């Protein structure tokens, strides 16, 4: 028996070591390299020197980087709130006693399976031609020009597309959350004569709290990393008003000659994402425990 | 009880009307894809009214311009290979990690090490990976597949490891007593029992890789090869202001995943819900 056990352990190691090598080579190693590059003035080609923390110090004074953080946070915050409110409402609707339930659920999920890039191109046409046409027909001032061409409103266009796709995903997760609530709980609250509004806040909401956590963490992370929609809708414009952090790192790091500088940006971005995720999970776990 | 079962028709109708938000962009894209540039007037009707005749010319032309079959082939090759390898490699990794954690020192750490990879954004890996894959001769489709296997490993290992809790140890112990090797036990007993999780993993991995733009964009840029979404990006300039051609191309790019969705809708919805809840 003893010998058998150690054979088993050997097999386990024989399996896990190649997997670990693969993971290290294409995940940890490039990350370490990224961190190393962040201390250099590497342009992506040619020679380079180590510059200490200069890239990091420069990040905090670089107006373009600052602008991209502001845009990304504004976008992620608005997106996360909108998506979670909308998808919770959608999930409540799609989980109630309606007809054609599965067909409707199926249709509302479609935006999520379609690629962000192509969807961005289609919406770009809507924002550029359809909405201004509507604006002209009904004399709605701010719609008469493409919102994507407006420094003030372009981010709303990107937001609409992001939300349109993300609601589909989060709704499905909230539906599976609502299905974990036993029917008896609703019956009990009905017998108590609780109003629908009260029933939702006092009974349903606390019970689906774990799903709120999942959805908040997921959607925040996805919105923070927005890339495809920017690529197809605005390319960061106009006047860099919709340049997300991912897009800036891609654009200036890959062909802008800022390999080292954008590596520092990516390191900070990574820390920000981890910090926000951890923060959300701790706060929400506390909330879950209280309820 | 009976009262809650009664159909809420008002809500049903509201929800049916709401599907306009889903159908409108797709309807518009299809209509424009069938029209000729001369039919595109500057009002709403120009984009939304039926075309004078339903001709497939735009689609034929779009297929030529974007080298459609080639891009489709690349997308299929990358996605299918990734799914098969992910199911094989990530399931065995999940199995080994889950069973190893209880008996071998270090496996708990390995688990946390791999799963924590979920928080690493592609941005930080992107630039070093471009250099690294180029040096290793992996700046091509094989490199993209390999990277997907690594990128989806944290989520998939988490899912498989979690699922192992549903598979009783007693079965493996029995096989052990019968003298089956660990390797054989896994493929004959555990792997088939992981079926529901294979479906979830395959679907989540497929949706992610099929629509991904960034990885092929930066990794395969030197090869002249395109995936379906990448072709849309790379041929933007060739479409110019011919929106009809562009939209025909977009529709072609959306059709494969829509067909897949229509066929496997139930599995996809279950898979997505399952993945999120377990994850």
pLDDT over 90 for what percent of chain B?
47
Residues in B touching A259 (Cβ below 8 Å): 127
Return the higher-pLDDT residue of B186 and A143: B186
Return the higher-pLDDT residue of A7 and B91: B91
pLDDT in tens, A120-140: 999 998 998 888 888 888 877
Mean pLDDT of B240-268: 89
Residue window 149-178, chain A: list those with CB within 8 Å of chain B. Answer: 164, 169, 172-173, 175-177
Residues in B touching A172 (Cβ below 8 Å): 269, 272-273, 276
pLDDT at residue A145 in the model:
81
Q: Which residue among B93, B150, B276 sits closest to A214, beta carbon to beta carbon?
A: B276
B250 reaches A (C-beta below 8 A): yes
Q: Do B123 and A246 touch (CB under 8 A)?
A: yes
Q: Which residue among B23, B218, B272 sits closest to A172, beta carbon to beta carbon?
A: B272
Residue of chain B whose alpha carbon sits nearest to that of A245: B123
- Which two three-digit tokens encode residue A160? 């609409």
pLDDT in tens, B206-216: 989 999 988 99
Residues in A touching B23 (Cβ below 8 Å): 107
For residue B195, the tally of other CB atoms under 10 A from its CB is 9
Q: Do B269 and A7 touch (CB under 8 A)?
A: no
Spatial separation of the C-alpha atoms in residues A171 and A276, rounded to whole Å: 22
Q: Do B258 and A113 touch (CB under 8 A)?
A: yes
pLDDT at residue B4 in the model:
52
- Give the up-direction half-sphere exposure of residue B18: CA atoms within 13 A in the CB hemisphere: 18
Residues in A touching B119 (Cβ below 8 Å): 270, 273-274, 277
Spatial separation of the C-alpha atoms in residues A156 and A186, rounded to whole Å: 38
Confirm if A166 and A219 have CB atoms less than 8 A apart. yes
Min Cα separation A152/chain B (Å): 24
Burial tier of B182 (Cβ tally within 10 Å: 0-12, 13-18, 19+):
buried
Confirm if A42 and B131 have CB atoms less than 8 A apart. no
Mean pLDDT of B121-133: 90
Residues in B touching A269 (Cβ below 8 Å): 121, 123-124
Mutate to test the interface with B, among A4, A5, A26, A130 (most CBs of B within 10 A): A26
Sequence-distant (6+) residues with CB within 8 A of A206 are A291
Return the higher-pLDDT residue of B221 and A26: A26
Mutate to test the interface with B, among A84, A122, A218 (most CBs of B within 10 A): A122
Confirm if A5 and B172 have CB atoms less than 8 A apart. no
Min Cα separation A265/chain B (Å): 8
Q: Do A231 and B233 touch (CB under 8 A)?
A: yes
Confirm if B238 and B67 have CB atoms less than 8 A apart. no
- State the first-to-last Cα distance of chain B, in angstroms, to the nearest integer: 34
Min Cα separation B154/chain A (Å): 9
Return the higher-pLDDT residue of A106 and B278: A106
Residue of chain B whose alpha carbon sits nearest to that of A250: B123
3-class SS of residue B104: coil
Measured CA to CA in angstroms, residue B53 lies from B31, B37, B239, B246 at distances of 11, 13, 22, 18
Mean pLDDT of A15-41: 94
In this predicted structure, the answer to whether residue A109 has a pLDDT above a threshold of 50 is yes
Spatial separation of the C-alpha atoms in residues B41 and B25, rounded to whole Å: 18
pLDDT at residue A291 in the model:
60
3-state secondary structure chain A: CHHHHHHHHHHHHHHHHHHHHHHHHHHHHHHHHHHHHCCECCCCCCCCCECCCHHHHHHHHCHHHHHHHHHHHHHHHHHHHHHHHHHHHHHHHHHCCCCCHHHHHHHHHHHHHCCHHHHHHHHHHHHHHHHHHHHHHHCCHHHCCCHHHCCCCHHHHHHHHHHHHHHHHHHHHHHHHHCCCCHHHHHHHHHCCCCHHHHHHHHHHHHCHHHHHHHHHHHHHHHHCCCHHHHHHCCCCCCCCCCCHHHHHHHHHHCCCCHHHHHHHHHHHHHHHHHHHHHHHHHHHHHHHHC
Mutate to test the interface with A, among B93, B121, B187 (most CBs of A within 10 A): B121
Measured CA to CA in angstroms, residue B201 lies from A81, A171, B162 at distances of 28, 20, 12
Residue window 47-106, chain B: list those with CB within 8 Å of chain A. Answer: 47-48, 89, 92-93, 96-97, 99-100, 103-104
pLDDT at residue B179 in the model:
83
Mean pLDDT of B92-102: 93
For chain B, helix (H) and strand (E) counts, in that order, are 18, 0
Residues in A touching B29 (Cβ below 8 Å): 122
Residues in A touching B155 (Cβ below 8 Å): none
Min Cα separation A17/chain B (Å): 10
Residues in B touching A137 (Cβ below 8 Å): 43-44
pLDDT at residue A1 in the model:
45
- State the first-to-last Cα distance of chain A, in angstroms, to the nearest integer: 48
A44: left (phi over 0), alpha (psi -120 to 50) or beta: left
Measured CA to CA in angstroms, residue A71 lies from A182, A236, A241, A247, B121 at distances of 42, 10, 7, 11, 18
- The mean pLDDT value of chain A amounts to 88
Q: Do B25 and A123 touch (CB under 8 A)?
A: yes
Q: Do A121 and B258 touch (CB under 8 A)?
A: no
Mean pLDDT of B95-118: 91
Quickly list DSSP for B117-158: GGG--HHHHHHHHHHHHHHTT-SSHHHHHHHHHHHTHHHHHH
Q: Which residue among A19, A31, A121 sits closest to B124, beta carbon to beta carbon?
A: A31
Measured CA to CA in angstroms, residue B159 lies from A256, B4, B66, B106, B249 at distances of 39, 35, 37, 20, 36
Mean pLDDT of A69-91: 95
CA angle A167, B197, B156 (to 5 degrees): 75
Mutate to test the interface with A, among B44, B124, B125, B181 (most CBs of A within 10 A): B124
Which of A14-23, B172-181, B210-219 is the least confident region?
B172-181
Min Cα separation B204/chain A (Å): 10
pLDDT in tens, A138-182: 877 777 788 888 888 899 999 999 999 999 999 999 998 898 888
pLDDT at residue A187 in the model:
79
pLDDT at residue B242 in the model:
84
């Amino acid at each position: 028996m003893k010998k058998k056990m150690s054979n088993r352990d050997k097999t386990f190691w024989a399996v896990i070591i190649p997997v670990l090598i693969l993971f290290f080579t294409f995940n940890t190693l490039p990350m370490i390299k990224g961190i190393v590059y962040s201390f250099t003035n590497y342009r992506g080609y040619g020679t380079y020197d180590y510059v200490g923390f200069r890239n990091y110090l420069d990040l905090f004074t670089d107006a373009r980087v600052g602008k991209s953080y502001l845009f990304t946070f504004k976008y992620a915050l608005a997106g996360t709130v909108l998506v979670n409110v909308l998808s919770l409402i959608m999930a409540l609707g799609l989980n109630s006693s309606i007809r054609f339930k599965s067909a409707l659920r199926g249709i509302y999920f479609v935006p999520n399976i379609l690629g962000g890039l192509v969807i961005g191109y289609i919406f770009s046409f809507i924002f550029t031609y359809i909405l201004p046409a509507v604006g002209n027909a009904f004399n709605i001032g701010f719609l008469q020009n493409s919102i994507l061409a407006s420094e003030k409103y372009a981010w709303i266009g990107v937001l609409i597309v992001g939300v349109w796709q993300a609601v589909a995903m989060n709704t499905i997760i909230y539906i599976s959350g609502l299905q974990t609530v036993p029917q008896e709980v609703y019956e009990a609250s009905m017998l108590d004569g609780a109003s629908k509004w009260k029933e939702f806040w006092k009974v349903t909401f606390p019970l689906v709290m774990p799903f709120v956590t999942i959805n908040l963490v997921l959607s925040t992370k996805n919105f923070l990393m927005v890339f495809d929609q920017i690529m197809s809708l605005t390319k960061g414009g106009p006047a860099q008003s919709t340049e997300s952090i991912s897009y800036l790192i891609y654009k200036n790091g890959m062909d802008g000659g800022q390999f080292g500088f954008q590596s520092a940006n990516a390191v900070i971005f990574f820390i920000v994402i981890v910090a926000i995720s951890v923060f959300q999970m701790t706060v929400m776990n506390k909330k879950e425990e209280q309820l | 009880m009976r009262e809650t079962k009664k159909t809420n028709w008002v809500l049903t109708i509201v929800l049916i009307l709401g599907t306009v938000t889903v159908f409108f962009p797709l309807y518009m894209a299809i209509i424009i894809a069938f029209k000729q540039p001369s039919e595109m007037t500057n009002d709403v009707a120009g984009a939304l009214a039926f075309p004078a005749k339903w001709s497939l010319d735009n689609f034929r032309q779009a297929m030529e311009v974007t080298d459609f079959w080639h891009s489709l082939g690349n997308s299929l090759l990358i996605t299918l290979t990734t799914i098969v390898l992910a199911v094989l490699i990530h399931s065995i990794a999940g199995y080994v990690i889950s069973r190893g954690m209880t008996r071998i020192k270090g496996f708990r750490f390995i688990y946390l090490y791999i799963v924590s990879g979920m928080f690493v954004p592609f941005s930080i890996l992107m630039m070093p990976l471009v250099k690294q894959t180029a040096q290793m001769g992996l700046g091509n489709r094989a490199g993209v597949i390999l990277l997907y296997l690594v990128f989806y490993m944290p989520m998939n290992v988490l899912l498989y490891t979690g699922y192992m809790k549903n598979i009783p140890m007693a079965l493996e112990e029995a096989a052990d007593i019968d003298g089956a090797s660990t390797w054989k036990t896994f493929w004959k007993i555990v792997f088939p029992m992981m079926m529901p999780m294979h479906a979830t993993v395959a679907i989540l991995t497929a949706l992610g890789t099929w629509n991904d733009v960034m990885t092929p964009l930066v990794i395969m840029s030197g090869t002249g090869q395109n995936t379906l979404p990448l072709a849309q990006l790379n041929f933007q300039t060739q479409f110019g202001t011919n929106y009809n051609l562009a939209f025909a191309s977009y529709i072609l790019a959306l059709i494969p995943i829509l067909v897949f969705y229509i066929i496997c809708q139930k599995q996809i919805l279950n898979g997505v819900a399952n993945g999120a809840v377990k994850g």
